[in-house]
Amino acid sequence: MAKQREALVTNIFTADPSAHVFDDKIYIYPSHDLPHDGADDDEGIEYAMEDYHILSMDNVDAPCIDNGEALHMKDVPWVSKQIWAPDVALKDGKYYLYFPARDKQGIFRLGVAVSESPVGPFKAEESFIPGSMSIDPAVFKDDDGKYYCYNGGLWGGQLEKWMTGSFEENPREIGENEPALGPFFAELNDDMKTFKATPKMIQILDENGEPIKAGDEDRRYFEGPWMHKYNGLYYLSYSTGTTHYLVYATGKSPEGPFTYRGRLMEPVIGWTTHHSIVEYHGKWYLFYHDCEISGGINHRRNVKFTEIFYNEDGTIKTVFPYDHK
């Protein structure tokens, strides 16, 4: 039986979980860490993922099932390596798997693969999404039926390299007092395979309405965006990277701007932190990963989940991942 704050599967290492509810079942779309003895670096070379395994649970108390390989990078013509954190969206009976990977030039792009089953197998498009860049796609369906793709990650995710609108291998350094970079977003076309317009950068503000600064590492955006809606308010949550927090900001539109509201989760064991939030039977759950089982080896992570709770003012009670375990 699945237990909160315990690894959902241990036969493989999984990370970066994007959780969704389809037909009253919970499906988790993680990346797949491959064990190796290579070194770690700020560009993420240790994350040498090659494929996706989709997990599923009949309910939050049921065993978690590994449904096997759903997509491998060898079957994606444009990919050279590092097929990282994915997400999925359902439209008109088809499931669209969105994923980042390096193209043949070593530039991170976003791809899409399609299946008639939530667990695949998925068939990838011949090329990446035109105009896409960086990593960590998260697709949000709004109440009006529009789909938005959010993505972006600093350092190895190459977000800094796109500041001018085109790829620069050696971009200028952003000053600590300059506005921090945010995730990109774009509305998807009806085909779910292309953007309606060139992606724009989300603005994240502090309590005074000023942009969060690049030097504010406790609050600034680093990677792993996720969008959900609660009581009519849009919640953009993300990782701060270097300080290892999951935090969130709220806004009145899926396009922002968003105002920082607080910490979603304190640091877990391991360098990275990446998550998703999903409602199931009237309760809300946070899916995340850590390196507890591997003893802190950054590229040997395991997916977990826990229930989260909202305060009356719309803030979320901070999760302390190893309390009351």
**CATH number for the domain running over 13-308:** 2.115.10.20
Q: Which residues contact 217 (CB under 8 A, 6 or more apart)?
A: 240, 241, 242, 243
Q: Are 120 and 67 in contact (CB under 8 A)?
A: yes
Q: Are 82 and 47 in contact (CB under 8 A)?
A: yes
Give the mean pLDDT of 181-185.
98
Reported as a single tens digit per residue, the pLDDT across 285-323 is 999 999 999 999 999 999 999 999 999 999 999 999 999
Q: Where are the domains of the chain?
A: 13-308
Q: How confident is the model at residue 42 (pLDDT cuts 50, 70, 90)?
A: confident
3-state secondary structure at position 241: helix
Structure tokens at 179: 């506005």
Kindly report the average pLDDT of the chain as a whole number.
97
Give the mean pLDDT of 199-217.
98
Give the mean pLDDT of 200-225.
98
Q: Are 214 and 178 in contact (CB under 8 A)?
A: yes
Report pLDDT for 37: 85
Give the mean pLDDT of 95-108.
98
Q: How confident is the model at residue 39 (pLDDT cuts 50, 70, 90)?
A: confident
- Tell me, rounded to whole angstroms, the distance of Cα 298 from its chain centroid: 17
Cβ-based burial of 143 (10 A; exposed 0-12, middle 13-18, buried ≥19)? exposed
What are residue 278's phi and psi, to 5 degrees?
-145, 145
Report pLDDT for 320: 98
User: Strand ranges (DSSP E) for 172-280?
Assistant: 184-187, 200-201, 204-205, 223-230, 233-239, 246-251, 258-265, 276-280
Give the mean pLDDT of 12-29.
98
Buried b (16+ CB within 10 A) or exposed e, 175-207: eeeebbbbbbbbebeeebbebeeebebbbbbee
Give the mean pLDDT of 192-216.
98
* C-beta pairs of 37-42 under 8 Å, 24+ apart in sequence: 40/271, 40/298, 40/299, 42/155, 42/156
Give the mean pLDDT of 278-291.
98
Report pLDDT for 325: 53
Residues with catalytic function: 16, 223
